Amino acid sequence: MPAPLLVLEAVSAIPSLTWVGVLLALVGAVFLSLGAQLQHRGVELVEERYGSGHKNGLSVPQLLRLAARPTWVFGSLMLGLAVLFQLSALGFAPLIVVQPLGVVGLVVAAVLNARISKVKLDSLTVRAIGFCVIGVGAFVTVAAFVATEHAITERQLTVILIILAVVLVALGLAFAFFRRRFTAIFYIVSAGVLYGFVATLAKVIITRLLSGNFEWLTLTCAFALVVAMGLGMYFVQTAYSVGSPDLVIAGLTVVDPLVAVSIGIVVLGEASDAPVWAFVVWAIAGAAAIYGVFQLARHHPQSHKRSPLVVPAAVVTDR
């Protein structure tokens, strides 16, 4: 059979509903990048006017002042749309297919941030972004063909909640005692880990609601989701004050799906029917994506010289 026909046959083997989930996730990724750029601008303004100069976490007064910044509020609305599209995507496709697609937002964020901040992306930065995109792209391509969804048991759900509780305690203790030593990477990785659990719990809740299974365990998942999302949002806002928006997006779009995918594979069994070669590809692709994030943190122009971000008045006014 000719190669083009083999490709068409393989593509047609992907369920049509999975394609709907993929498209929704891609739209959500664009909203994610736009929202991140605007929120970053709002956080920078608050830091410049009301910050102490020490990047060790936003204070409560600073968080309250963010609500008065039009750029931050508008960015939050964009992120709300991103979450809405992502949750919708999870209703159509497996978690390990949907979650990695957020990496598309990295490309949009990198280009947008470079134009707004007037900081040219050098070859090392472009290469780092390439590792992120290619790594995650390879991962999701394989996942689209081999991932399968199964009914989520109460035992699996309990395991997820226990792991999240341990993560929350560990992050809370680390932040309480060592936050003065933290760099942007800590906040980005921490937020990515928490958002990975948020995506997983969202998938669980959607699946249980669609099956008419709404009881105390589902409510516990909803509560855990709110807690993880709240702490994750705080870490993201602090990361904006010490790192560029595309660096933040890079961390989130790599760490977030790696955590969610790991849970999807190990706990939820979404890769139970996957061949051995798929796991090899996933390991290599994941390593490439992680390498890209750390290279981006190391070589990004704004990691060495922070340039004031100026959002054009045509986009939004924030005075």
Q: What is the pLDDT of residue 166?
A: 93
Residue 55 within a domain: yes
In a domain, 250, yes or no: yes
Domain membership of residue 105 as a residue range:
9-304
pLDDT in the model for residue 59: 66
Let me know if residue 140 belongs to a domain: yes
CA-CA distance, 302 to 44, in Å (whole number)? 13
Which DSSP symbol is given to 55?
-
- Position 229 in a domain: yes
Average pLDDT over every residue of 89-116: 75
**pLDDT tens string 239-259:** 877 666 767 777 777 788 778
| For range 160-167, the mean pLDDT | 92
Name the domain count of the chain.
Answer: 1
Tell me which residue of 260, 243, 297, 240 sits closest to 75, measured CA to CA.
240
**Residue 137 included in any domain:** yes
Residue 317 domain flag: no
**pLDDT of res. 8:** 35
Tokens found for residue 48 = 């410049």
Maximum average pLDDT range among 6-15, 111-120, 201-210 = 201-210
- Say yes or no to pLDDT of 224 above 50: yes
Q: Which amino acid does the sequence have at 32?
A: L
Q: How far apart are CA 243 and CA 231, in angstroms?
A: 18
Q: pLDDT-derived band of residue 122, with 50, 70 and 90 as boundaries?
A: confident
Q: Which long-range contacts (CB under 8 A, 24 or more apart) does 149-154 make?
A: 149/94, 149/207, 149/270, 150/268, 150/269, 150/270, 150/272, 151/207, 151/211, 152/204, 152/207, 152/208, 152/268, 154/217
Residue 4: inside a domain: no
Residue 154's pLDDT is what? 84
Q: Is residue 184 part of a domain?
A: yes
Tell me the C-alpha distance between 218 and 298, whole Å: 41
Radius of gyration for the alpha carbons in the chain, expressed in angstroms and rounded? 20
